[in-house]
Amino acid sequence: MRILLIEDDTVLGAAVRDQIAADGQSVDWVTRLDTAGDAVRVTSYDLMLLDLMLPDGRGIGFLKGLRARGDVTPVIILTALDQVSDRIEGLNVGADDYLVKPFDLAELSARIGSVARRYSGNPNPILTHGSLDIDLAARSVHRDGKPVALTAREWALFDAFLARPGQLLSKAQLEERLYAFDAEVESNTIEVHVSRLRKKLGSEVIETERGMGYRLGKP
């Protein structure tokens, strides 16, 4: 999943960025609304984390603009404004969730996962796929009843397939979901992760369409 973080507090921003990266997700961090606008024009994000008070304006106006243009990217508001009226305003203009600062980073991860699942059409965190039992909230996988250890990147890649069952995902799409703008990506990175997932979860779990991309295999 690729996430846009819009936050001008450098200490909090760095902590949130590191938390998202530790979860195996890709994050682009900007500190101004104009920069955020540039980012959403050139990149397709799976989710945005939006502060309400930025140096060049209020996040509410930015969110209104997104929704007016038909952009349905899920948005979680992160703000120090803790009045009920502020929360209502944010939700009424199209926010999907709301976290008041200071907040626990583990809770943020849980909120991100919950919103992402709702948008993928399956809010249930428990999935079964063939011999695999998957807990999306706990980020755990069991194969034939035995736990399987996945790295953060392996989990993020597997999660991308689970969110789009049957959909063909190109190498470029997968790289975009796993890596931020400034990350250096080896040419065979996706192939390596797919190979490792097949060894751990079964050779049939990910199908290859040669020259086109990959998709989640049939259960």
Does pTM surpass 0.75? no
Final residue in a domain of this structure, among 120, 149, 182:
120
State how far the Cα of 64 lies from the Cα of 46, in Å rounded to an integer: 18
Clarify whether residues 64 and 165 are in a common domain: no
Clarify whether residues 150 and 181 are in a common domain: yes
Clarify whether residues 67 and 133 are in a common domain: no
In which domain, by residue range, is 177 found?
126-216
> Tokens in use for 69?
């243009």
What is the tens place of the pLDDT at every residue in 44-85? 898 999 999 999 999 999 999 999 999 989 999 998 887 888
**How many CB atoms neighbour CB 187 within 10 A?**
8
Strand, helix or coil at 206? strand
What is the tens place of the pLDDT at every residue in 128-167? 999 999 998 788 999 999 999 999 889 988 988 988 888 8
User: Helices marked H in the chain — which ranges?
Assistant: 10-22, 33-42, 59-68, 84-92, 105-120, 152-163, 171-178, 189-201
**Residue 205 DSSP class:** S
Final residue in a domain of this structure, among 78, 104, 120:
120
Assess contact for 124 and 133: CB atoms under 8 A: no
pLDDT for 123 beyond 70: no
Final residue in a domain of this structure, among 62, 86, 120:
120
CATH of the domain at 172: 1.10.10.10
